Structure 1
Amino acid sequence: MKISLIQKYNVPGPRYTSYPTVPYWDESGFTHEIWLQTLKKSFQESNNKEGISLYIHLPFCESLCTFCGCNKRITKNHNVENPYIDAVLKEWTLYRDILGKKPKIKEIHLGGGTPTFFSIESLEKLINGIFSLAEKAEGYEFSFEGHPNNTTLAHLQKLYDLGFRRVSFGVQDYSEKVQKAIHRIQPFHNVAKVTFWAKEIGYTSIGHDIIFGLPFQEVQDVVDTIEKTNSLQPDRLAFYSYAHVPWIKGNGQRGFHDEDIPKDYAKRKLYEVGKELLFENEYYEIGMDHFALKSDSLYHSFEDKKLHRNFMGYSSSKTQLMIGLGVSSISDSWYSFAQNVKTLEEYYKVLESDELPLYRGHLLSTEDLIIRKHILNLMCQFETSWEDSANYVSEIPEIVFQLKEMENDGLLIIGDNKIIVTEEGKPYVRNICMAFDLRLKRKAPETALFSMTV
């Protein structure tokens, strides 16, 4: 049965860090003026109530990992740090002037690239610069992504002193063969060292990112990686499916052949084996591809039905407004999305003109907002409802009809005005969300856009 379900539902599909997904943004209906209007509206509605989030993209890496689909610039020249920090702070100053009063920042996430490429002096300059124009919201949560090979004790201590309490380390896999294929040579003792340092300093949430479906990866590799991970007891885990999209990301994902990558049932078995080991060690499944100990805030937010998902991934609290700073960052006012330019050269050039470095976006329609709620509910709580008429669209009967086959396959339960994803259906939540994705259904992609769903 599992083989047939995987073969049946393993199709290209979005990961739904947003709705509409980026390929379906209506860029023709978007302007800078629209972005500013919705930005101010959302700020007025949410700043005093919940605060805002900042995602700051730090794009530099010293070497290229061939599994990575992020926007990055490979360099060993650390003279790039200061100009980039200055540019990000200038962008933040532009936003601060537009908002008109001090924002209360609930969340900050430093992503990349490799945030720990930057020196502690550069990171301190960045965070202090942010808070020269802002204040911390009550219950704030600041996080960053650390590379185990270059995260130092000084990095961890300085960021802790600046208010960071959550860190995630990219592990991927401990097999030497797999590491060589993805150009990410990273010994276990490096991960253990930074994990223990973070625990000793007092970080309250330490995460490890693991990937299944990597080239040459076998069941024993996943078992070994999970067992080593369990020995370190991180508070939360992201157990991601490898997204092989070389047609989008260029040569960075062409360091191996397609036949080297596990597919279909072989790939899914890697996940099932890993998941079972995590369950045995008292990790609980949270949303899609995430696991946490009962002591972690992500578990509590899932239990309290407060889990949120945005361009930064899963979050234990929701903010209506998220501003993205840095090259290629995406901002979300809830009513519209806006993305920055993708090259460093253009990013610097636009900021020199004292303008926000935006190049595209999308204004959400009333229908978009409703569908977005349903997809968020499914991604975060494995259920959704349209009992409230405000959550109803005329296509609901058609969506329900399309989901009948998934119900027959045991993937979900269709009730009166609601859908509940079953345990068997959790691996297929992206497929279930696709039934609600009206933009995708109205215009099926003519070329490869998305990774496989399973």
Structure 2
Amino acid sequence: MKNSLIQKYNVPGPRYTSYPTVPYWNEADFSYEDWISSFKKTFIESNTEEGISLYIHLPFCESLCTFCGCNKRITKNHNVESPYIQAVLKEWRLYCNLLDEKPIIKEIHLGGGTPTFFSTQNLEDLINGIFAYAVKAENHEFSFEGHPNNTTHAHLQKLYDLDFRRVSFGVQDYSEKVQKAIHREQPFHNVAKVTFWAREIGYTSIGHDIIFGLPFQKIEDVVDTIEKTKSLQPDRLAFYSYAHVPWIKGNGQRGFKDEDIPKDNEKRILYQVGKELLQKNGYHEIGMDHFALKTDSLYQSFRKGQLHRNFMGYSSSKTKLMIGLGVSSIGDSWYSFAQNEKNLDDYYQVLEWDKLPVFRGHLLTEEDLIIRKHILNLMCQFETRWDKTTTYFKEIPEVLEQLREMEKDGILIIKENGIQVTDKGKAYVRNICMAFDLHLKRKAPETALFSMTV
């Protein structure tokens, strides 16, 4: 039965960090002025009540990891650091100049690339530069991504001193053969060292990122990785499916052959074995791909129905406005999305013109906003409901008809005014969301856009 479900539902599909997904943005009806207007509207609505979030993209890496789909620039030249920090701070000032009051920042996430590529001094200059024009919310939550090979004790201490309390380390897999294939060679000792340092310094949430479905990866590799992870007791874990999309990511994912990658049932077994081991070791499934101990804020937020998902991934709190700073970053005003220039030289050039480096976006329609709520509910709480007023849309009968087959397969339960995902169905939550995705239904992609859901 499991094999047949995998064959049945293993299709290309979005990961739904947004709705509509980026390939379905209506860029023709979007303008720079639209984003400014939407940004200012949402800021007025939400700044005092809940604050705002910042995602800051730091794109530089010293070497290329072949599993990675992030926007990055590979260089060993650290002279690139300071000009980039100054550019990000200029972008931030351009945003602040549009406002009548100081932003109250609830969340900051430093992503990449490799944030710990940057020196402690440049990271300090970045954060201090942000708060020269803003204030911290009382219940703020600041986090960053650390590479175990180059995150120093000084990095961890400096960011802690700047009020960061959450850090996630990219582990991926401890098999030497797998690490060599993905060009991410890092011994367990390096991960253990930074994890112990973070805990000793006082970080309250330490995360590890693990990937299943990597080239040459076997069941014993997943078991070994999770057993080693258990010994370090991170507070939360991301257990991601490797997204093999070389048509998007170019030569970075051509370092191994397609036949070297676990597929279909073989890949699903890796997930199932890993998931069972994580649960056995006290980790609870939170949304899609994420697990946390009961003591972690992500678990507590999930239990309270307050979990949120956006371009930064899962968050234990929600802000209506998220500003993306840096090359390729995406901002979200709830009513619209806007993405920065993806090419670093173009990003710098637009800032030279004293203009926000936005190059495309999407204005959400009333229909988009309703569907977005349902997909967020499914991704964050494994259930959604509707009534005849704010959350109903006329295609719901068609959606339910499509979902009846999934109900027969034990993936979900259809209720009078909603649906609930079963434990078996959690692995197929992307497929369930696709039934609600009206953009995807109305215009199926003619070329490969998404990774496989399994």
Normalised-by-shorter TM-score class: over 0.9
Shift of the alpha carbon at 1:389? 1.9
3-state SS of paired residue (2:440): helix
- What residue is the counterpart of 2:218 in the other structure? 218
Secondary structure of the 2:98 match is helix
| Distance in 2 of aligned mates of 1:420 and 1:99 | 42
Partner of 1:281: 281
Aligned to 1:110: 110
Q: CA deviation at 1:388?
A: 5.3
Give the 3-state SS of the residue equivalent to 2:433 in structure 1: helix
Aligned to 2:156: 156
Task: Name the counterpart of 1:326.
Answer: 326
Name the SS of the counterpart of 1:449 in structure 2: coil
* 1:450 partnered with 2:450: yes
Q: Secondary structure at the match of 1:64?
A: coil
Instruction: Tell me the CA shift for residue 138 of structure 1.
Output: 1.8
C-alpha deviation, 1:105, in angstroms: 0.2
Residues 70-81 of structure 1 aligned to structure 2 (within 5 Å): 70-81=70-81
What is the SS of the residue equivalent to 2:174? Answer: coil
Paired residue secondary structure (1:450):
coil
Deviations 1:43-86 (A, max 9, x none): 01100010000000000000000000000000000000000000
Letter in structure 2 aligned against 1:65: C
Residue 415, structure 1, aligned to residue 442, structure 2:
no
Q: Distance in 1 between matches of 2:117 and 2:58?
A: 9
How much identity, in percent, do the aligned residues show?
80
- What letter corresponds to residue 309 of structure 1 in structure 2? R
* C-alpha RMSD of the superposition: 0.5
Equivalent residues in 2 for 1:188-207, closer than 5 Å: 188-207=188-207
Tell me the secondary structure at the aligned position of residue 63 of structure 2: coil
Helix, strand or coil at the partner of 1:390: coil
- Give the whole-Å Cα distance in 1 for the aligned partners of 2:370 and 2:309: 15
CA distance in 1, matches of 2:302, 2:388: 22
**Cα separation, 1, equivalents of 2:230 and 2:452:** 28
Question: Scaled by the length of structure 1, what TM-score is found?
Answer: 1.00
CA displacement at 1:101 relative to structure 2: 1.4
Aligned length, in residue pairs: 454
**Structure 1 partner of 2:47:** 47
Output the amino acid matched with 2:233: Q
Distance, in Å, in 1 between the alignment partners of 2:128 and 2:433 is 40
Deviation at 1:172, TM superposition (A): 0.1
CA–CA separation in structure 2 for the residues paired with 1:187 and 1:46:
44
The answer for the alignment partner of 2:261 in structure 1 is 261
Deviations 1:309-363 (A, max 9, x none): 0000000000000000000000000000000000110011100010000100000
State the SS of the aligned residue for 1:349: helix
1:435 lines up with 2:435 in the alignment: yes
Cα distance in 2 for residues equivalent to 1:435 and 1:7: 18
1:244 shift after superposition: 0.3
Per the alignment, residue 367 of structure 2 pairs with 367
Structure-1 residue corresponding to 2:93: 93
- Cross-structure match for 2:381: 381
Within 5 Å, which residues of 2 pair with 1:279-358?
Answer: 279-358=279-358
CA distance in 2, matches of 1:230, 1:387: 43
State the alpha-carbon separation in 1 of the partners of residues 419 and 99 from structure 2.
Answer: 39
State how far apart, in whole Å, the 2-side matches of 1:99 and 1:157 are.
Answer: 33
Partners of 1:429 and 1:101 in 2: CA distance: 40
Aligned counterparts of 1:389 and 1:173: Cα–Cα separation in 2: 47
Work out the CA distance in 2 between the residues paired with 1:431 and 1:50. Answer: 32
The Cα of 1:371 is off from its aligned counterpart by 0.2
CA deviation map 1:110-130 (0-9, x unaligned): 000000000000000000000
Could you say what secondary structure the match of 1:170 adopts?
strand
Distance in 2 between residues matched to 1:432 and 1:182, nearest whole Å: 31
Please state whether the residue corresponding to 1:90 is helix, strand or coil: helix
- Once the two structures are TM-superposed, the CA of residue 283 in structure 1 deviates from its matched residue by 0.4
* 1:243-254 equivalence runs, <5 A: 243-254=243-254
Q: Supply the distance in 2 between the matched residues of 1:356 and 1:321 (Cα, whole angstroms).
A: 16
Q: Is 2:13 the counterpart of 1:13? A: yes
Residues 1:208 and 2:184 aligned together: no
Separation in structure 1 between the aligned mates of residue 288 and residue 154 of structure 2, nearest angstrom: 33
Q: Identify the residue that residue 170 of structure 2 maps to in structure 1.
A: 170
Q: How many angstroms apart in 2 are the aligned matches of 1:222 and 1:211?
A: 9
Q: Distance in 1 between matches of 2:100 and 2:119?
A: 32
Long gaps (5+) in structure 2: none
Amino acid at match of 2:175: S
Structure 1 unaligned blocks of 5 or more: none
Q: Which residue of 1 aligns with 2:121?
A: 121
Q: Structure 1 counterpart of 2:220, which letter?
A: Q
